């Protein structure tokens, strides 16, 4: 890290501080709506960018790049979920926005009753600690450990490494501006950070292609690699020559030990519907929109940006594998990814190694700033979502007489408490992540998502579903999911050795959850259809349908078709890209 690199990082923090100050002056935080929903005044451009920046955390830069080097495109199915955002904008979002709710548990209470709200609130808070907070902090700490190993502190004779310094520092900084500025500060800083993330990660991809394309590696036609355009050809040739075509392909056989294609399809779609269509972390941004039109267009803009991670993170990881295998000399030194015990590549060290080895002065600082931006945006978004869930769905239910000032204070205190729990989970998570952070988070989410998806989807499409079905579906599903997580931690890691492969388990749990919801609902009286207007498709009034129709026009339709078309094109290319 040179002086120019540090200047880039300091410039990022100065820009961040400026955005936060501007946001605070633009709108004071006086009520819970101001803190948690930005006063419902945000435009579509900022909403879409915030959805992208919130989703792209350090686990993508560390974990997804690592999976690219180890398993190629295997995890791309989770990143082609732009079509799910299109579905969310047309199917789910109108119900949420028009109901005027602040949280997803609050919507469940409108549809079913208070018990469903309590269960989803507690499950969501547990999920954030087990996945989002801990993984985001851990991945960011790993990046600091690799990029700045010389940074340390000695406290009372104990040496504190850059791993813990990075973890605590980023948590504190993200917590400060999230607490002070609320969702408005989070959304508008995300708008800026989106461009920093894109610029930083694209530079890694570009330099990796450049060095691989100018490596002089012999090509199949007898020529030697000379030029950035040859970088892609060298990558494909390397994968084929090492016998990794199936490992790096988009699809795996049903007998694959951890990523069978059927299990991956079911699990990725289930997780996608849960994350993009029902999770507070994402939906909260759309609820902050000025109106339903801006909410939908923000979701579609976020869907378009969602296509980027495959090319920003998975592809650089694969390029890192090719650079390592071909012993390419970069800047006078041979490119080498650190190895784990036993000689396997350390996937979680791939992206930091690319940054260290490939990037010239100045660009390294840009990428580190992008990494910090990804970490800070995800953490700040998490903090705001967690505090919203606890304050609105737990504290306010227990203390309905609490003043707006008191609710704002509780929301800020919650940020500190949940962050501490996330830090406490870090050592446990480190022992079961197994060097594959992205795979870890998808596996854990595949245990938590199915019952929530079953309850939301059936609740919107089946008017016979009632409170008993929601309570039993959420409760039993969550218990089974936690049992699977415990089995993995004790016996199976994340390789699917604990009785049932992870991604097959997701499909089984989804089927069980749907069955439980249906059976339990039929054992209790049907809900009154008169109370389901705006909460179920078959019970929509003509006024509601008219209001929804007026919220979109041809622009929204064309944007949706473009996003879906891009997903189809990406699948069409990568389906047979190694043939």
**pLDDT attached to residue 14:** 85
Contacting residues for 541 by C-beta, under 8 A, at least 6 apart: 533, 534
403-411 mean pLDDT: 79
Contact 410, 395 (CB under 8 A): yes
Task: Name the residue among 374, 376, 372, 356 with its Cα closest to residue 2.
Answer: 356
Burial class (CB in 10 A: 0-12, 13-18, 19+), 64: buried
**pLDDT attached to residue 28:** 63
**pLDDT attached to residue 273:** 92
In the numeric block, which tokens belong to residue 112? Answer: 């079913």
Contact 289, 62 (CB under 8 A): no
Helix 363-388 × helix 280-287 angle, to 10°? 90
How much is the pTM? 0.84
Q: Say how many C-beta atoms besides its own lie within 10 A of residue 142's C-beta.
A: 28
> Mean of the per-residue pLDDT values for the chain?
81
Cα separation, 245 vs 265, in Å, equals 20
**Res. 163 pLDDT band, cuts 50 70 90:** confident
In the numeric block, which tokens belong to residue 110? Answer: 């409108």
**Res. 179 pLDDT band, cuts 50 70 90:** low
Burial class (CB in 10 A: 0-12, 13-18, 19+), 221: exposed
- HEC readout, 458-513: HHHHCCCCCHHHHHHHHHHHHHHHHHHHHHHHHHHCCCCCCCCCHHHHHHHHHHHH
pLDDT value at 402 more than 60: yes
Cα separation, 44 vs 330, in Å, equals 42
% of the chain residues with pLDDT over 90 = 19
Cα separation, 471 vs 308, in Å, equals 38
Lowest-confidence segment of 19-33, 176-190, 327-341, 489-503 by average pLDDT? 489-503
**pLDDT attached to residue 489:** 67
**pLDDT attached to residue 435:** 47
Among the CATH numbers 1.20.1440.130, 1.20.1540.10, 3.40.50.1000, 1.20.1730.10, which is that of 3-575?
Answer: 1.20.1730.10
Cα separation, 342 vs 428, in Å, equals 22
Helix (H) or strand (E) holding 160: strand 158-160
Cα separation, 169 vs 141, in Å, equals 10
Query: Mind listing the pLDDT tens digit for each residue in 69-98?
Result: 888 888 888 888 899 999 999 999 999 998
330: phi then psi, degrees, rounded to nearest 5: -125, 125
**pLDDT attached to residue 557:** 95
In the numeric block, which tokens belong to residue 86? Answer: 């299109």
Cα separation, 412 vs 180, in Å, equals 8
pLDDT value at 470 more than 90: yes
Q: Is 279 left (phi over 0), alpha (psi -120 to 50) or beta?
A: beta
The DSSP result for 315-338, as a single string, is: HHHHHHHHHHHTT-EETTEE----
Assign 242 to helix, strand or coil. coil
Cα separation, 445 vs 439, in Å, equals 10
CA torsion 53→56→57→58, rounded to 10°? -130
Write down the H helix ranges in 389-436: 396-398, 404-433
In the numeric block, which tokens belong to residue 420? Answer: 């501490």
Assign 551 to helix, strand or coil. coil
% of the chain residues with pLDDT over 70 = 87
- Structure letter (DSSP) for residue 154: E
**pLDDT attached to residue 495:** 47
Contact 368, 13 (CB under 8 A): no
Contacting residues for 547 by C-beta, under 8 A, at least 6 apart: 98
Select the highest-mean-pLDDT range: 35-39, 382-386, 489-493: 382-386
pLDDT value at 575 more than 50: yes
pLDDT value at 453 more than 70: yes
281: phi then psi, degrees, rounded to nearest 5: -55, -40
pLDDT value at 175 more than 80: no
Question: pLDDT: is 156 or 209 the higher one?
Answer: 209
**pLDDT attached to residue 492:** 56
506-533 mean pLDDT: 90
**pLDDT attached to residue 75:** 81
Select the highest-mean-pLDDT range: 201-215, 234-248, 379-393, 512-526: 512-526
Lowest-confidence segment of 33-37, 453-457, 542-546 by average pLDDT? 33-37
Strand partners, 298: none
Helix (H) or strand (E) holding 343: none
**pLDDT attached to residue 475:** 92
**Res. 494 pLDDT band, cuts 50 70 90:** very low
**pLDDT attached to residue 223:** 73
Select the highest-mean-pLDDT range: 155-164, 235-244, 423-432: 235-244
Question: pLDDT: is 116 or 530 the higher one?
Answer: 116
Question: pLDDT: is 304 or 489 the higher one?
Answer: 304
The rounded radius of gyration (Å) of the Cα atoms in the chain is 23
- Structure letter (DSSP) for residue 168: H
Contact 477, 450 (CB under 8 A): yes
Lowest-confidence segment of 71-80, 390-399, 482-491 by average pLDDT? 482-491
**pLDDT attached to residue 514:** 95
**Res. 420 pLDDT band, cuts 50 70 90:** confident
Contact 408, 122 (CB under 8 A): no
**pLDDT attached to residue 440:** 67
Query: Mind listing the pLDDT tens digit for each residue in 26-71?
Result: 666 656 665 666 667 788 998 998 888 878 766 677 778 888 888 8
C-alpha distances in Å from residue 517, one per residue of 1, 203, 450, 459, 531:
55, 48, 12, 10, 20
pLDDT value at 104 more than 80: yes
**pLDDT attached to residue 432:** 54
Task: Name the residue among 60, 102, 557, 46 with its Cα closest to residue 302.
Answer: 46
End-to-end CA distance of the chain: 41
**Res. 566 pLDDT band, cuts 50 70 90:** very high
Question: pLDDT: is 380 or 66 the higher one?
Answer: 66
Assign 153 to helix, strand or coil. strand
pLDDT value at 564 more than 90: yes
238-255 mean pLDDT: 82
């Amino acid at each position: 890290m040179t002086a120019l690199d540090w200047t880039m990082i300091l410039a990022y923090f100065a820009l961040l501080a400026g955005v936060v100050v501007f946001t605070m002056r633009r709108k004071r935080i006086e009520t819970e709506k101001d803190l948690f929903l930005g006063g419902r005044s945000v435009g579509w451009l900022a909403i879409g960018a915030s959805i992208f920046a919130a989703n792209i955390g350090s686990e993508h830069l560390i974990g997804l790049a690592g999976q690219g080097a180890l398993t190629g495109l295997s995890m791309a199915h989770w990143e082609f979920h732009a079509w799910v955002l299109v579905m969310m904008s047309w199917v789910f979002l109108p119900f949420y926005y028009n109901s005027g709710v602040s949280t997803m548990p609050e919507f469940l209470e409108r549809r079913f009753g208070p018990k469903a709200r309590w269960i989803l609130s507690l499950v969501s808070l547990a999920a954030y600690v087990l996945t989002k907070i801990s993984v985001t902090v851990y991945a960011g700490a790993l990046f600091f450990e690799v990029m700045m190993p010389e940074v340390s502190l000695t406290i009372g004779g104990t040496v504190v490494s850059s791993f813990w310094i990075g973890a605590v520092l980023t948590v504190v900084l993200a917590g400060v501006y999230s607490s002070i500025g609320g969702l408005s500060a989070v959304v508008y800083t995300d708008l800026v950070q989106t461009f920093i993330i894109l610029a930083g990660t694209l530079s890694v991809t570009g330099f990796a292609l450049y060095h691989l394309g100018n490596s002089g590696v012999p090509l199949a036609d007898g020529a030697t690699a000379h030029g950035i355009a040859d970088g892609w050809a060298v990558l494909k040739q390397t994968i084929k020559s090492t016998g990794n075509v199936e490992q790096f392909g988009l699809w795996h056989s049903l007998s694959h030990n951890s990523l069978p294609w059927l299990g991956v399809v079911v699990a990725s779609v289930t997780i996608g519907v849960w994350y993009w269509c029902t999770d507070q972390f994402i939906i909260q941004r759309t609820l902050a929109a000025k109106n339903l039109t801006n909410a939908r267009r923000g979701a579609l803009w976020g869907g378009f940006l969602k296509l980027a991670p495959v090319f920003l993170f998975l592809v650089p990881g694969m390029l890192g594998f090719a650079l390592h295998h071909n012993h390419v000399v970069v800047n006078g030194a041979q490119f080498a990814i650190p190895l784990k015990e036993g000689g396997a590549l350390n996937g979680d060290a791939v992206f930091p190694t690319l940054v260290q080895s490939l990037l010239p002065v100045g660009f390294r600082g840009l990428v580190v700033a992008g990494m910090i931006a990804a970490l800070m945006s995800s953490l700040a978004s998490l903090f705001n979502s967690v505090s919203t869930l606890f304050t609105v769905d737990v504290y306010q239910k227990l203390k309905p007489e609490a003043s707006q000032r008191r609710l704002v204070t509780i929301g800020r205190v919650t940020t500190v408490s949940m962050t501490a729990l996330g830090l406490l989970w870090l050592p446990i998570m480190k022992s079961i992540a197994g060097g594959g952070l992205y795979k870890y988070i998808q596996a854990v989410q595949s245990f938590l998502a199915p019952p929530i998806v079953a309850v939301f989807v059936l609740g919107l499409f089946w008017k016979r579903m009632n409170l008993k079905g929601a309570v039993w579906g959420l409760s039993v599903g969550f218990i089974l999911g936690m049992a699977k997580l415990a089995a993995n931690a004790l016996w199976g890691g994340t390789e699917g050795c604990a009785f049932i492969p992870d991604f097959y388990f997701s499909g089984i749990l989804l089927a069980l959850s749907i069955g439980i919801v249906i059976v339990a609902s039929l054992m209790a009286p049907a809900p009154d259809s008169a109370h389901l207007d705006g909460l179920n498709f078959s019970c929509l009034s003509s006024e509601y349908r008219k209001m929804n129709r007026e919220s979109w026009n041809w622009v929204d339709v064309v944007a949706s078709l473009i996003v879906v078309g891009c997903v189809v094109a990406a699948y069409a290319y990568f389906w047979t890209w190694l043939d």
